[in-house]
Chains A and B, each alone.
Chain A
Amino acid sequence: MQFDWPILSVLVWLPIIGGVVLLALGERAAGLGRWLALLVTVATFVLSTLLYTNFDSSTAQMQFVEHLAWIERFNAWYALGVDGISMPLIVLTTFITPLVIISGWTVIEKKPTQYFAAFLILEGLMVGVFAATDALLFYVLWEAMLIPMFIIIGIWGGARRVYATIKFFLYTFLGSVFMLVSLIYMYLQTCKTGQCSYAIADFQELPLALNAQLLIFCSFLAAFAVKVPMWPVHTWLPDAHVEAPTGGSVILAAIMLKMGGYGFLRFSLPITPDASATLDWLVISLSLIAVVYIGFVALVQQDMKKLIAYSSIAHMGFVTLGSFLVFELVRVNGDVRGAAMGIDGAMVQMISHGLISGAMFLCVGVLYDRMHTREISAYGGVVNTMPIFAAFAVLFAMANSGLPATSGFVGEFLVIIASFRADFWYAFLAAMTLILGAAYTLWMVKRVIFGPVANDHVAHLKDLNGREFLVLGVLAFAVLLLGIWPAPLLDVMRPTVEHLVQQINVSKL
């Protein structure tokens, strides 16, 4: 599907230009700045729904394609396009960002215009990462994203924010530079075998020897495993999430983690299918370790945000599990249906986890704005003074545990079925998440929300104000909608997922 006007470029540049305008406005016009930020993000979201409504669900081809010359020397183009995998992620990004703006409306006291500007620029870059079909453009936006996030955590974060933000930047940067070397290597290979190109589609068709594939796979693994994050390179996440301001945590959890999963689906699987097939055991093992071990780690956390951070890592384990099970299923068992189910599950889990973890961080933010502590022990019996909030919190906790009728169930169910078709023990370990997820989430809810009022501070808590109700309500609606009726999402993904499964079924050797 194609419009006359470049919708993807608008989705990328409108927020960025909005952010720059906000920076130019400065702190003098704080009130105006907030409304401008809200206007820009809502406009971006409305435009992105056009992507969904006009999406052609019958083809796996890139849609809304834009192709402009950029750097002639490298034959690198300013090339944008979406398919069934990137479109839902873009809509998720533009959906979450207005909610983040609203949630920071009055909470941010220090330099609010710069806060909103940073999120706007970040939104534009994130949409660009999902929409880029040129590998060099993808990499530029991927790295550029780190700068606003670095600033957000460092200026508006908590007590250990400097440690957390530098750790976040260096960890992610180190993983990504290896990916850069691989991308340049593949570019040189395209020069040798045909026409020089940085287009991702050309990389996907590039024939590569197994040794080269293994090295390239490892470098992509370095970049995406840190982003997802996978055990054992996950240690930056708890620090970054805990120290970031609420909005920063929401964006980190809801969207930036998904880029790792997107990277696996867009790069590792189609470009290095043989290496991925050879090393799939590694990624599957790391994913299962994340699901089980990190689940146990989440159980013992005392800080609410840290608990949700570890829960994020465990849920993202499902994404990588679903992505790499396809090799076991397709190449070993010839089960194409199961493989498609695995990738479907990974994608739905990405969207669902984006909504749920975003909502949970916002819930913690609501409590933190009132009590200025995230310690579970400081709370108890919140339901008595904040019943509406408690209702939302319990709903999101249930969704996090994977309760059917919430979106959390759909993704996990699909991945567990897929793993069952591959191996009983994969399914067994993966299903542990249902128990552990319920355990740590519901135990936290029990300690914080239920029971008698714990102390004076809790007794004086005020319930949700209009803004908080709006944000949590919208997210609750989305979670329930996706949980009861996931077909709209699954249908748009179908041709792309099937195309992907076919791509990785073909050996490049």
Chain B
Amino acid sequence: MSAPVIASFEFAAASAELFLLAAICVILLVDVFLSERTRWVTFALSLLAIAGTAFATVHFSVSGRVVAFSGTYIADPMGDVLKLFAYGTVAVAFLYSREYLQRRGLLKGEYFVLGLVGLLGIMVMISAGSLISMYLGIELLSLALYAMVAFDRDSGVAAESAMKYFVLGAIASGTLLYGFSIVYGMTGTLQLDDIAVAVREVGVNKVGLIFGLVFIVAGIAFKFGAVPFHMWIPDVYEGAPTPVTMFIGSAPKIASFVLAIRILAEGLGSMLASWQGMLIALAVLSLAIGNVVAIAQSNLKRMLAYSTISHVGFILLGILAGTTAGYRASMFYTLVYVIMTVGSFGMILLMSREGFEGDRLEDFKGLARRSPWFAAVMMMFMFSTAGVPPFVGFWAKVVVIEAALDVGLAWLAAVAVVFSVIAAFYYLRIVKLMYFDEPTENAAIQAGGTVRTVLTLNGLAVLVLGIFPGALIQLCAQVLP
């Protein structure tokens, strides 16, 4: 239905982005006239904006690959599914964060506007058909995230994290752009589809192309947070306010995944031999460093940051396989990872109170006694992230290992599972603190109904998807032919 509509009216393809952009402008203006008490209006409008965007995406969904705006915009099923997941993630992140922000006096309209701008950046990245539109999306997302990290003006740690993120992010964006420009110089075109053709004509082993590829991989690795471009992750995750950390850890990973797929798998797919080796090195290092250093952390946000780095290693494992099965596996892993991460940070938000961040490991001591249900939910998140059945994180590992074995990288699969056992230690430590230790403080959990409900649903999702993973796996397989 949609392809002919788009052919006759190109703007229909980008209807979701246009709607969101309009909504952002409206919300920004409306917020000016609201007071502290009526701030919930901004919150409600943001959720409505996301709902409207989702409606637009579903209404104009495509069944094949459609190119619009002279090749700078791609609409395909994978993009639609990823966008819908991004909407869901941002909406859930907003739901989780409202109470925390209110308690800290940070409930400003700009937070939601920035979040929506970040979402817009993610959408632009997902639909990017040319190097320039991809870069546009990256910058839109990154600038919004820099501002969100620095949102708490009174926190020195947050300001420091924002500075680090901004400086390192700018360097990484510059590196990426430099790689883009070299590839443009070698191929003469910015459109990803044309680049794929041109690369084969120019010759995949041309030094110039490989040179550009190296810079592009470096930029992608930074956005992902793969070792050795991971330095910003622990500090930014720890320093940013927890809801912002949740935002950074979840939706942008979808964006990084799509960045890698569009540029490496689709655009520069014929250069697989060159970038496979680079990604193998990045994956092994990420698995090793991420898992080993996480053991030493006493701050839960920092520990989850290093755990993120190790999960990035797994996602790269699927991408570097270079097969459709591998890309599907990575997509599934990314989506599962987003669900688990949002939940884990949601638990930290649950524990946070007046003047108390709730992100130290000791804060979880004896949680089983204080709140049996949420201790069980956290246990489900921890076992899922460790890859223990019957939770969904296990299936994520299975599909990625299958992709690696399919291309004969058995040693890499073995390395990955060994490191996942090392990872199990620090996840078990959380379960140990909750169930085997006495509580050091018996303060009641102050979180309100929204956080509790969303967290419960999140935990149940992890369990149910773990027992019946078929539907989500099938979805990933369908959209990536």
Query: Which residues on A are within 8 Å of B, measured CB to CB?
Result: 26, 70-74, 136, 139-141, 143-144, 146-147, 150-151, 154-155, 161-162, 165-166, 169-170, 173-174, 177-178, 180-181, 184-185, 187-188, 215
Contacts and interface: CB of A to CB of B under 8 A. Distances in A.
Contacts of B470: 70-73
Nearest to B406: A188
Interface in B457-481: 468-470, 473-474, 477
Given A139-B389, A140-B389, 17 more contacts: A70-B468, A70-B470, A71-B470, A144-B389, A154-B435, A161-B436, A165-B436, A169-B428, A170-B424, A170-B425, A177-B418, A180-B398, A181-B405, A181-B417, A184-B401, A184-B413, A188-B402
A73 B388 contact: no
A185 B417 CA distance: 14
Contact of A173 (B406, B413, B421): B421
Interface residues of B, number: 31
B425 A166 contact: yes
Contacts of A173: 388, 421, 424
Interface string B393-428: 010001001100110001001100110110011001
A121 to B, nearest CB: 11
B424 A178 contact: no
B52 interface: no
Contact of A177 (B390, B417, B425, B477): B417
Contacts of B428: 150, 166, 169-170
A144 B405 contact: no
B360 interface: no
Given A173-B424, A174-B418, A147 B383 contact: yes
A70 B466 CA distance: 12
27 contacts: A26-B372, A71-B469, A73-B470, A73-B473, A73-B474, A141-B389, A143-B389, A144-B388, A147-B383, A150-B431, A151-B435, A155-B435, A162-B436, A166-B428, A166-B432, A170-B421, A170-B428, A173-B388, A173-B421, A173-B424, A177-B421, A181-B401, A181-B413, A184-B402, A184-B405, A184-B413, A215-B410
Interface string B286-318: 000000000000000000000000000000000
A72 B402 CA distance: 15
A30 to B, nearest CB: 15
Interface of B: 372, 383, 388-390, 394, 398, 401-402, 405-406, 410, 413-414, 417-418, 420-421, 424-425, 428, 431-432, 435-436, 468-470, 473-474, 477
Nearest to A192: B406
B383 A180 contact: no
B69 to A, nearest CB: 35
Given A146-B388, A173-B424, A187 B402 contact: yes
Given A166-B432, A174-B421, A178-B414, A73 B394 contact: no
B460 to A, nearest CB: 13
Max chain B CB contacts within 10 Å: which of A141, A173, A215?
A173
A165 B437 CA distance: 14
B328 to A, nearest CB: 9
Contacts of B372: 26
Max chain A CB contacts within 10 Å: which of B410, B431, B436, B477?
B436
A154 B414 contact: no
A177 B388 contact: no
A22 to B, nearest CB: 13
Contacts, number: 82
A194 B229 CA distance: 43
B388 to A, nearest CB: 6
Contacts of B477: 73
A180 B400 CA distance: 12
A188 B394 CA distance: 18
Max chain B CB contacts within 10 Å: which of A73, A139, A181, A188?
A73
Nearest to A114: B372
B426 to A, nearest CB: 11
B469 A180 contact: no
Nearest to B413: A181
Nearest to A166: B428
B473 to A, nearest CB: 5
Contacts of A70: 468, 470
B474 A180 contact: no
A174 B424 CA distance: 10
Given A73-B474, A177-B421, A140 B406 contact: no
Contacts of A140: 389-390, 394
Contacts of A170: 421, 424-425, 428
A169 B469 CA distance: 25
A154 B390 contact: no
A139 B387 CA distance: 12
A141 B389 CA distance: 7
A325 B372 CA distance: 50
Contacts of B389: 139-141, 143-144
A231 to B, nearest CB: 21
Contacts of B417: 177-178, 180-181
Contact of B394 (A74, A143, A184, A187): A143
A154 B375 CA distance: 15
A143 B414 contact: no
A144 B394 CA distance: 10
Contacts of B474: 72-73
A218 to B, nearest CB: 11
Contacts of A165: 432, 436
Contact of B436 (A139, A155, A174): A155
Nearest to A212: B410
Nearest to B473: A73
Given A71-B469, A181-B405, A147 B388 contact: yes
B20 to A, nearest CB: 33
Given A169-B424, A185-B405, A143 B398 contact: no
Minimum-distance CB pairs A-B, first 8: A177-B417, A140-B389, A71-B470, A154-B436, A174-B421, A73-B473, A143-B389, A144-B389
Contact of A184 (B398, B418, B432): B398
Contacts of A184: 398, 401-402, 405, 413
A272 to B, nearest CB: 16
A416 to B, nearest CB: 38
A144 B432 contact: no
A416 B390 CA distance: 41
Contacts of A154: 432, 435-436
A71 to B, nearest CB: 4
Max chain B CB contacts within 10 Å: which of A162, A184, A215?
A184
A132 to B, nearest CB: 12
Contacts of A215: 410
